[in-house]
Amino acid sequence: MTLSVSKTPKIMIRPLQYRDLEPVKVLMDRCRDPKTSQRLITIDRELKQASSWYGLRKFLSLLPYSSQEDRRIYVAEHQQKILGLIQVSSFNSTRTTWRVERVLLSDDIPQLGSMVSQKEVGSQLLKHCLENIWEARTWILEVDVNDKNHLALYRENGFQPLAQMTYWRITPAQIAELAKEEPNLPNLLPISNTDAPLLYQLDCMSMPPLLRQIFDRHIQDFKSNFLQTAINKIHQWLEQTEVVRGYIFEPQRKAAIGYFRLESAKDGSRPHQAQLTVNPAYTWLYPQLIAQMCQIAHHNQSPSSPPQPNDQGLELISADYQPEREEYLTKIGASPTENTLLMSRSVWHKIRETKPLEGLQLSEVLQGLKPARTPIPSRISWVKSFSQPGNQEFFTTPQEENHKSSDEPSGESPQQPNHGSHA
**Tens digits of residue pLDDT in 34-83:** 555 556 656 566 666 555 555 555 544 544 444 445 888 899 988 888 88
Band of the pLDDT at 20, cuts 50, 70, 90? confident
Q: Delineate the domains of the chain, giving CATH numbers in brackets.
A: 7-158 (3.40.630.30), 162-349 (3.40.630.30)
Measure the CA–CA gap between 25 and 29, rounded to whole angstroms.
Answer: 6
Distance set, CA 60 to CA 46, 56, 68, 69, 235 (Å): 17, 6, 9, 11, 15
**Close Cβ partners of 184 (under 8 Å, ≥ 6 residues apart):** 288
Measure the CA–CA gap between 170 and 333, rounded to whole angstroms.
Answer: 8
> Which pLDDT score, from 0 to 100, does residue 265 have?
84
276 neighbors 282 (Cβ within 8 angstroms): no
Residues across the chain: 423
The larger pLDDT score, comparing residue 259 to residue 409, is at: 259
Name beta bridge partners: 339.
Answer: 166
Mean pLDDT of 237-255: 90
Among the residue ranges 76-90, 106-120, 409-423, the one predicted with the least confidence is 409-423
Using CA atoms of 296, 302, 303, 309 in order, give the dihedral in degrees to the nearest 10: -100
Measure the CA–CA gap between 169 and 121, rounded to whole angstroms.
Answer: 34
Per-residue b/e over 229-249, b at no fewer than 16 CB within 10 Å?
A: eebeeeeeeebebeebebbbb
Residue 25 scores a pLDDT above 50: yes
The larger pLDDT score, comparing residue 180 to residue 118, is at: 180
Measure the CA–CA gap between 143 and 160, rounded to whole angstroms.
Answer: 11
Mean pLDDT of 314-318: 93
Measure the CA–CA gap between 345 and 351, rounded to whole angstroms.
Answer: 19
> Which pLDDT score, from 0 to 100, does residue 383 have?
55
* Per-residue model confidence as pLDDT tens digits over 141-190: 999 999 898 999 999 999 999 999 999 999 999 999 999 998 989 899 99
Measure the CA–CA gap between 402 and 390, rounded to whole angstroms.
Answer: 17
Instruction: Say how many C-beta atoms besides its own lie within 10 A of residue 60's C-beta.
Output: 15
Measure the CA–CA gap between 120 and 126, rounded to whole angstroms.
Answer: 10
Half-sphere CA count of 210, side-chain side, radius 13 A? 11
Band of the pLDDT at 27, cuts 50, 70, 90? confident
Nearest by Cα to 340 from 374, 371, 315, 375:
315
**Close Cβ partners of 276 (under 8 Å, ≥ 6 residues apart):** 258, 259, 260, 286, 289, 290, 293, 316, 317, 325
Mean per-residue pLDDT over the chain, rounded: 78
